[in-house]
Amino acid sequence: MEPVFDLTIIWAVIIAFGIIMYVLMDGFDLGQGILFPFAPSEDARDVMMNSVAPVWDGNETWLILGGAGLLAAFPLVYAVFLPALYIGVFLMLAGLIFRGVAFEFRFKAKTSKYLWNWSFAIGSTVAAFAQGAVVGAYIQGFAVEDFSYVGGALDWLTPFTVMTGFGLIAGYALLGSTWLIMKSEGDIQAWAYRITPWLLIAVLVVFALVSVWTPFVQASVAERWFAGISYIWLFPLLALLCALWLVRSLHQRRDGSPFVATMGMFIFTYLGLIASKFPYVVPPNYTLWDAASAHESQLFLLLGLLFVIPIVLVYTAWTYWVFRGKVKAGAGYH
Amino acid sequence: MEFDPLLLSRIQFAFVVSFHAIFPVFTIGLAAFIALLEGLSFKTGDPKWGRLSRFWVQVFAVVFGMGVVSGIVMAFQFGTNWSIFSYSAANFLGPVLSYEVVTAFFLEAAFLGVLLFGRGKVPQGVHFFSAVMVAVGTMISSFWILSANSWMHTPAGVEFRDGLVFVTSWSEAIFNPSLWPRFFHMGIASFLTGAFVVCGVSAWFILRNRDRDVHRKALSMSLWLILFAVPAQIYVGHSHGLNTFEHQPMKVAAMEGAWETKTNAPLVLFAIPDQANQRNRFEVAVPGLASWLLTKDVDGEVPGLNEVPRELQPPVAIVFFAFRIMVGIGLLMLFFAVTGLVLRRKQAYASTPWFLVGLKWMAITPFIAVLAGWFVTEVGRAPWLIYGVMTHSEGLTPSLTGGMALFTLVGYIVVYAFVFSAGVYYLLRVMQKGVPSEAEVAKESSHQRPKRPLSAADADWEEEQTDGGKA
Ligand code: HDD
Ligand code: HEM
Ligand code: HEM
């Protein structure tokens, strides 16, 4: 029986949605960790942490959904990426562990507080780097034979992936600083306003480098971009427009817009990346359809998700609403 | 030197999952307890409940945090170390684990934020509702993950084509034959863990004469739970054993230390299994009892390990001893449950020192029993990863080298040792600080949280700090 819809495409959209949700949401809270060592005061650190403490766990759940969703809909991706990025995945998980426990431990610590400051900062930065490197590795492609990864343990670690790793650190830091502009006030906000332009410059530099470098790393990508003018150029253009909007809103001291503009930059860059690779999910050889799970499995899960995901979005939005508004310096923990 | 990636991966998986397992069993029980306390507080307005709930929420926050971070590791372990297994079983495991994420993890995570930080920001009824949602989330989560795990023990509702699993019946696969006994056994184990920890901590406070009346309440509540849950656990455990006897007879043979197929099989109380020579040393046994327990007939036939070739036998000694540890602890728990009832008169349970000291030490036994139980279950499945279908070595990631596996194994051990010590240290700190006073609770509820410069509880931390510094 031929299915009416191509489930695989629907699933690709769902997974892509899950990933960008994760990047945006955990991005700003990882960003707090990346900026942690540079914060002007311990009070500022309290505010930074309090601004994300009620929501970080929910944000990270999108990562788990990404993992489980890939296993369900595109098992080949799950079964190739994880072995290929074995060491990187470990580093990311270790980073997430250290930063996750820091939320609880830091507020219960007295003399050992500095330890959890570092745990939060290093953990977040390592996790961000590892995730950036994953993106780079995906652009590079993997050595796969017979549906299994056959490369070495550190094949993923190249100058290119190191750069994408640092790029994502800068990107998350930017999300973090614009989030802080929205959630804080007074000195802390002033500090966030000061650092944001520098972070934006760092992000734009990486953006330019990746754009120039990618075609050399992957010929197929080059072809897609340079074989005549195509719609694909729209994405970087829109991303740059968002950057301009960010600059303007910083000038006008609009508390909310910088964060929204940064999210826009992320979304359009992400769409550009997808467009460069589509439909390859395990580059260079396997497409979405090669990687897909059985039709009935995709369908079984889809039926549930259509029902459950809207509910999840509603109560997630509700928790953000409960914790809306500025976080005051000195306001306590639970 | 060559390292065996298979052995290292098994050790690693056993280590990370055992570490993870410690936290859910506690949080599932404790979440329900907190929801109950919040409910009582909401309904009666008695400050006692609010005080207890605040105290236990602090404990919960630390334990839940560690549960979450170690759980995130688990979500990726399947792919990193067992990629062939993941790939072949993905058509079933993927949807099930995804359902766990969307029906349970999001629920827990979202409402946890409100439970921990929402006091004063949401009405008390909504706060109570959040506590209930967290508790419900943990139960849903255990349902899905145990379904996935049970399916690996008793695969059903699928067919295997070209090395891949294809689901033919979702209901048969999800509600596979060992799901319900495992779900209830694990569910009750979680409640017992929560209850014994609450008992132990309350006993500790009572022994130190701190806030006796509130802790006596908590002690009394959890002793009631234990009184009913322990016998239930023993009954469910027994049915679970019968279920396993039907589906995985070699696992039961290993639990019983039965090498040969026998009628009128004895129940081995103690022995040292000697797998090399396929026999027991120093055996102490009750004749006929195993046959009677498993087949309800003293002359019933109980298959022994010699029914299968050596390489298809699980490591007998681990299964054998782990099983005895679990059952031994179960019986010990029964003793405390019954004694608690006997001491009910005139509330002697809160004033009998040996009983309180005993309870204090009992607080760690459920964790040992739970891990022992999982060792029985999982080691008893060896060498199968999916029972009767795929072995451990067939499911291993092909590109994994011994060096890589060793690196991450050592890494996890170091990271977890650090996190665990810190966690225990902060839990002790929370206990040291004790239950917030009535005045603190009243002050907190009469103010809107964000408008206050410093919350009552936190001010206390700082005061304690200066006091501590001087003393
Ligand atoms: C019977 C219960 C049980 C068992 C056997 C497992 N878990 Fe678990 N897990 C939970 C019960 C639980 C929980 C109660 O839902 C936790 C514990 C603390 C928490 O935060 O949620 C959790 C947390 C948790 C998380 C973090 C969720 C979040 O961010 O809120 C993940 C990704 C996993 N688990 C994954 C696993 C995997 C892959 C397992 C199999 C090997 C596993 N768990 C065994
Ligand atoms: C949470 C409590 C659990 C504990 C304490 C536990 C413990 C263990 C142990 C000790 C082993 C090693 C057996 C051996 O190598 O001989 C093992 C193996 C395994 N378990 Fe579990 N398990 C738990 C839950 C689960 C669940 C819920 C799943 C699946 C959904 C699972 C999947 C596996 C797999 C895939 C293996 C094979 C890898 C290996 O042998 O190490 N486990 N587990
Ligand atoms: C005293 C009587 C008990 C009996 C007869 C009993 C029986 C069993 C059996 C037969 C298994 C293996 C199931 C399999 O084949 O996979 C098992 C597993 C287990 N037991 Fe027990 N048990 C008892 C007490 C306890 C207690 C007190 C706890 C914890 C508080 C506990 C926790 C567990 C856990 C966590 C598992 C692994 C999960 C599972 O497969 O259900 N058990 N038990």
Domain boundary assignment for chain A: 8-296
User: What is the mean pLDDT of the segment spanning B19-31?
Assistant: 94
CB proximity list for B350: less than 8 A, separation 6 or greater = B206, B212, B216, B219, B220, B356
pLDDT of residue B461: 38
CA distances from B193 to A109, B27, B140, B360 (A): 27, 9, 18, 13
Q: B120-129, B160-169, B445-454: which has the minimum mean pLDDT?
A: B445-454
**Which residues of B191-304 form beta strands (DSSP E)?**
262-263, 267-274, 279-286, 301-302
Residue B126 scores a pLDDT above 80: yes
pLDDT of residue B246: 93
Q: Residues A24-82: pLDDT tens digits?
A: 999 999 999 999 999 999 989 999 999 999 999 999 999 999 999 999 999 999 999 99
Mutate-to-test residue for ligand 2 from B13, B19, B248, highest number of ligand atoms within 8 A of CB: B13
pLDDT of residue A144: 87
State whether residue B428 sits within 8 Å of chain A by CB. no
Class of CATH domain A8-296: mainly alpha
Contact at 8 Å (CB) between A107 and B116?
A: no
Sign of CA dihedral A43, A48, A51, A55: negative
Residue B213 scores a pLDDT above 70: yes
CA distances from B459 to A54, A125, B437, B453 (A): 21, 31, 13, 10
**A330: which DSSP letter?**
T
Residue B449 scores a pLDDT above 50: no
Residue type, B430: V
Q: A5-14, A84-93, A321-330: which has the minimum mean pLDDT?
A: A321-330
User: What is the mean pLDDT of the segment spanning A3-10?
Assistant: 78
Contact B399 A149 (CB under 8 A): yes
Q: How confident is the model at residue A99 (pLDDT cuts 50, 70, 90)?
A: very high
User: What is the mean pLDDT of the segment spanning B3-9?
Assistant: 90
The complex's ipTM works out to 0.88
**CB of A64 closer than 6 angstroms to any ligand 1 atom:** yes
> How far is A86 from B79, CA to CA, in rounded Å?
9
pLDDT of residue B459: 35
DSSP letters of A213-232?
HHHHH-HHHHHHHHSS--GG
Place of tokens 């790393």: A217
Chain A residues whose CB is inside 8 A of the B91 CB are: 75, 293-294, 296-297
Q: Tell me the three state secondary structure of residue B3.
A: coil
Contact at 8 Å (CB) between B139 and B25?
A: no
Q: What is the mean pLDDT of chain A?
A: 90
CA A153 to chain centroid: 24
User: What is the mean pLDDT of the segment spanning B288-304?
Assistant: 90
Mutate-to-test residue for ligand 3 from B146, B242, B364, B376, highest number of ligand atoms within 8 A of CB: B376
Residue type, A34: I
Which residues 207-236 of B are in CB contact (within 8 Å) with A? none
Which residues 9-68 of B are in CB contact (within 8 Å) with A? 57-58, 61-62, 65-66, 68
CB proximity list for B370: less than 8 A, separation 6 or greater = B21, B22, B25, B189, B193
Residue A163 scores a pLDDT above 90: yes
Q: How far is the CA of B67 from the centre of ligand 1 (A)?
A: 7
User: What is the mean pLDDT of the segment spanning A260-283?
Assistant: 90
pLDDT of residue B466: 35
Q: How confident is the model at residue B366 (pLDDT cuts 50, 70, 90)?
A: very high
Mutant choice from A11, A22, A29, A71 vs B, greatest count of B C-beta within 10 A = A71
**CB of B5 closer than 6 angstroms to any ligand 1 atom:** no
Q: What is the mean pLDDT of chain B?
A: 89
Task: Return the ligand 3 atom nearest residue B243 CA.
Answer: 15
What element of type H or E holds A326?
Answer: none
Residue B162 scores a pLDDT above 70: yes
Ligand approaching nearest to the C-alpha of B100: 1
> How far is A60 from B138, CA to CA, in rounded Å?
17
Q: Tell me the three state secondary structure of residue B272.
A: strand
Contact B458 A333 (CB under 8 A): yes
State whether residue A78 sits within 8 Å of chain B by CB. yes
User: What is the mean pLDDT of the segment spanning B155-159?
Assistant: 94
Buried-exposed string B282-316: b where 16+ CB fall within 10 A, e elsewhere: eeebeebbbbbbbbeeeebebbbbeeeeeeebbeb
User: What is the mean pLDDT of the segment spanning B211-226?
Assistant: 93
Closest to B232 in 3D by CA, of B292, B187, B281, B297:
B187
Closest to B22 in 3D by CA, of B200, B226, B229, B197:
B197
- Count of C-beta atoms within a 10 Å radius of residue A186: 13
Residue B453 scores a pLDDT above 80: no
CA distances from B217 to B48, B52, B206, B221, B338 (A): 9, 9, 11, 6, 18
In DSSP terms, which residues pair with B391 in a beta bridge?
A: B384
Residue B188 scores a pLDDT above 90: yes
Ligand approaching nearest to the C-alpha of B102: 1
Chain A residues whose CB is inside 8 A of the B58 CB are: 334
> How far is B363 from B219, CA to CA, in rounded Å?
12
Residue of the CA atom closest to atom 19 of ligand 3: B373
